[in-house]
């Protein structure tokens, strides 16, 4: 009995044993729960992402195929080019020589010919007085002072030629019957006509009518020739061109053209009558002597200094002129000395010119010679690319021996406008006064014939030039 009771008690105190259900793998549970719908959506998104990745993979494959095709085409082009070059390299030398010997097209005459032109014109009003009385050519008018038409032709690197024409009006007086219908004639004449040979930069020769050494040189520095002639030209103690043999050139003795000094020269052996009188005519007969004009100049930095001179008989020494009292005329030698100092830099131009002359107006005067001198001061300032101001003053004593009290005072002031590179327009005022006699200038004869009298010339207007 005791043993049975102990067995029962042990069984009662023992812990119960949990039994687990056996799980079957590989089969989905049959039961559902609240998160099932979210799982379905997640599966859909995963499938969509897989589709996009597949599409991108296909696109990348297509791009790679296209790149491979382009590379193949590039390689083919390079191979073709190499093949062409190989064929060119294998062209026989005789064929290439023949091609090089084929005649080239001959350049036409026009390709080495240039047409140039220049016109000086004005629209102005003139008031000229003789001892206070108004005289001709007072009044308003539009005028063309100069019309140059030139032809330049280059034969080769050495030889060239130039012909430049000018014109003037020559009006005859009306008939005594009062017929005022007389037509003024326009005379066309040669300003320049020469053959040129440029052998070296410092040695060029011209044969014919060409620029003289002094006046054109000063015109380039002055810059306002279309407004007024330079000092020596305006007062008729020189001319700008003549017939003869001309030589000129320039060189840099230290080999630095930017700073200089640059030395230039010009010399001419000429007839002495000027360019308007062709040689051998009644106005320019053959003479016993020829005249000489020369110039030497130095340009250093922005400064230019020049000296010039003239010697001769101005083309009047015909050797057959007789005087009723003295027999054959004893001609005097005319001479002129010139000096100039100028500064040209950027918008500024300034300079002074001086001359002295002996017997210029008395070459054929057996009894009395004569002297003259004068100076000119000029300046300009370009305050804008198209606008500038300028001014000039001249003082001349033209007859220091025969009429020592005669003097000429001239000045001009102006405002310039340059609407184009080939056009210049200037509003200008000029005044010229001659005391104690008359004086022939580029603006006509000014002064008074009355002893101790004077004459004035005032002009205001628009002056211009057109060039091509």
The whole-number pLDDT of residue 77 equals: 81
Strand partners, 133: 130
Q: Compute the distance between CA of residue 132 and CA of residue 218 in angstroms, rounded to an integer.
A: 34
- 85, containing H or E segment: helix 36-89
Judged by DSSP in three states, 10 sits in helix
**Would strands 407-420 and 423-435 be described as parallel, antiparallel, or unpaired?**
antiparallel
All residues at 6 or more sequence positions from 11 whose CB lies less than 8 Å from its CB, including other chains: none
Question: Within the chain, what is the greatest distance between any pair of CA atoms?
Answer: 206
69 — pLDDT class (breaks 50, 70, 90): confident
All residues at 6 or more sequence positions from 464 whose CB lies less than 8 Å from its CB, including other chains: 120, 121, 122, 226, 423, 424, 425, 426
Query: pLDDT: is 84 or 377 the higher one?
Result: 377
Q: Compute the distance between CA of residue 163 and CA of residue 172 in angstroms, rounded to an integer.
A: 29
The whole-number pLDDT of residue 4 equals: 42
Chain segment 181-229, per-residue pLDDT in tens: 455 567 788 899 999 999 998 999 999 999 999 999 999 999 999 999 9
Looking at the predicted structure, is the pLDDT value of residue 127 above 80? Answer: yes
Looking at the predicted structure, is the pLDDT value of residue 94 above 60? Answer: no
The whole-number pLDDT of residue 49 equals: 82
19 — pLDDT class (breaks 50, 70, 90): very low
Chain segment 141-190, per-residue pLDDT in tens: 998 888 999 999 999 999 999 999 987 765 444 444 444 445 556 778 88
The whole-number pLDDT of residue 175 equals: 42
Least confident range from 76-85, 226-235, 390-399: namely 76-85
With vertex at residue 34, the alpha carbon angle to CA 32 and CA 40, rounded to the nearest 5 degrees, is 80
Query: Cis omega before residue 137 (within 30°)?
Result: yes
Strand partners, 283: none
Task: Return mean pLDDT, the chain.
Answer: 83
Long-range CB contacts (within 8 A, 24+) of 111-114: 112/153, 112/154, 112/155, 113/151, 113/152, 113/153, 113/154, 114/151, 114/152, 114/153
Q: Compute the distance between CA of residue 363 and CA of residue 273 in angstroms, rounded to an integer.
A: 13
Looking at the predicted structure, is the pLDDT value of residue 7 above 50? Answer: no
Using an 8 Å Cβ cutoff, are 360 and 373 in contact? Answer: no
Report the candidate in 243, 154, 247 with the shortest Cα–Cα distance to residue 204: 247
The whole-number pLDDT of residue 133 equals: 92
Strand partners, 196: 160, 206
Report the candidate in 467, 457, 442 with the shortest Cα–Cα distance to residue 145: 442
452 — pLDDT class (breaks 50, 70, 90): confident
Query: Cis omega before residue 261 (within 30°)?
Result: yes
Token readout for 442 is: 């580029």
With vertex at residue 194, the alpha carbon angle to CA 191 and CA 197, rounded to the nearest 5 degrees, is 145
Query: pLDDT: is 12 or 194 the higher one?
Result: 194
Token readout for 423 is: 């056009």
Report the candidate in 278, 210, 266, 279 with the shortest Cα–Cα distance to residue 239: 210
With a pLDDT cut of 90, the percent of the chain lying above it is 54
For 21, list phi and psi in degrees, rounded to 5: -75, 145
Chain segment 298-341, per-residue pLDDT in tens: 999 899 999 999 999 998 887 555 555 545 567 889 999 999 99
Mean pLDDT calculated for residue range 429-437:
96
Query: pLDDT: is 348 or 86 the higher one?
Result: 348
The whole-number pLDDT of residue 411 equals: 97
Token readout for 100 is: 């090089």
Chain segment 339-393, per-residue pLDDT in tens: 999 999 999 999 999 999 999 988 876 677 899 999 999 999 999 999 999 999 9
Looking at the predicted structure, is the pLDDT value of residue 22 above 50? Answer: no
Mean pLDDT calculated for residue range 91-100:
59
Using an 8 Å Cβ cutoff, are 310 and 293 in contact? Answer: yes
Supply the DSSP symbol for 100: H
pTM score: 0.74
Q: How far from the centroid of its chain's Cα atoms is residue 38's Cα?
A: 89
Token readout for 51 is: 């589709």
Using an 8 Å Cβ cutoff, are 345 and 374 in contact? Answer: no
Q: Compute the distance between CA of residue 118 and CA of residue 421 in angstroms, rounded to an integer.
A: 13
All residues at 6 or more sequence positions from 56 whose CB lies less than 8 Å from its CB, including other chains: none
Using an 8 Å Cβ cutoff, are 128 and 138 in contact? Answer: yes
Using an 8 Å Cβ cutoff, are 322 and 336 in contact? Answer: no
Q: What is the separation, in whole angstroms, between the first and last Cα of the chain?
A: 155
- 378, containing H or E segment: strand 371-381
Using an 8 Å Cβ cutoff, are 142 and 119 in contact? Answer: no
The whole-number pLDDT of residue 236 equals: 95
32 — pLDDT class (breaks 50, 70, 90): very low
The whole-number pLDDT of residue 189 equals: 82
């Amino acid at each position: 009995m005791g043993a049975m009771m102990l067995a029962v008690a042990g069984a009662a105190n023992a812990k119960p044993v949990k039994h687990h259900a056996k799980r079957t793998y590989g089969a989905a549970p049959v039961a559902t729960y609240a998160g099932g719908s979210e799982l379905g959506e997640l599966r859909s998104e995963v499938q969509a992402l897989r589709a996009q990745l597949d599409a991108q993979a296909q696109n990348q494959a297509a791009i790679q195929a296209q790149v491979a095709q382009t590379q193949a085409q590039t390689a083919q082009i390079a191979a073709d080019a190499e093949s062409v070059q190989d064929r060119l390299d294998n062209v026989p030398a005789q064929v290439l020589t023949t091609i090089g010997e084929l005649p080239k097209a001959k350049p036409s005459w026009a390709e080495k010919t240039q047409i140039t032109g220049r016109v000086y014109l004005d629209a102005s009003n003139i008031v000229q007085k003789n001892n206070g009385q108004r005289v001709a050519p007072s009044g308003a008018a539009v005028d063309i002072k100069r019309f140059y038409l030139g032809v330049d032709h280059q034969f080769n690197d050495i030889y060239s030629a130039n012909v430049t024409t000018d014109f003037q009006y020559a009006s005859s007086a009306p008939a005594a019957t009062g017929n005022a219908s007389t037509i003024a004639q326009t005379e066309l004449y040669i300003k320049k006509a020469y053959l040129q040979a440029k052998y070296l930069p410092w040695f060029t020769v011209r044969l014919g009518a060409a620029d003289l050494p002094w006046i054109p040189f000063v015109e380039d520095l002055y810059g306002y020739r279309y407004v007024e002639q330079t000092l020596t030209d305006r007062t008729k103690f020189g001319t700008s061109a003549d017939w003869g043999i001309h030589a000129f050139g320039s060189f840099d003795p230290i080999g630095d053209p930017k700073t200089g000094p640059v030395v230039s020269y010009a010399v001419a052996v000429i007839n002495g009558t000027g360019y308007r009188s062709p040689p051998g005519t009644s106005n320019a007969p053959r003479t016993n002597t020829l005249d000489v004009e020369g110039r030497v100049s130095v340009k250093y930095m922005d400064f230019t200094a020049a000296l010039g001179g003239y010697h001769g008989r101005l083309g009047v020494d015909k050797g057959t002129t007789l005087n009723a009292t003295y027999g054959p005329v004893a001609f005097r030698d005319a001479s002129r000395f010139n000096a100039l100092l100028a500064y040209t830099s950027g918008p500024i131009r300034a300079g002074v010119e001086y001359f002295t002359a002996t017997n210029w107006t008395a070459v054929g005067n057996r009894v009395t010679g004569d002297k003259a001198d004068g100076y000119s001061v000029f300046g300009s300032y370009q305050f804008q690319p198209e606008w500038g101001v300028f001014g000039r003053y001249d003082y001349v004593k033209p007859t220091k021996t025969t009429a020592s009290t005669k003097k000429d005072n001239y000045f001009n002031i102006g405002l310039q406008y340059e609407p184009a590179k080939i056009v210049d327009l200037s509003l200008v005022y000029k005044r010229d006064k001659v005391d104690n006699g008359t004086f022939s200038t580029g603006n006509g004869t000014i002064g008074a014939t009355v002893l101790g009298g004077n004459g004035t010339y005032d002009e205001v207007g628009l002056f211009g030039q057109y060039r091509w």
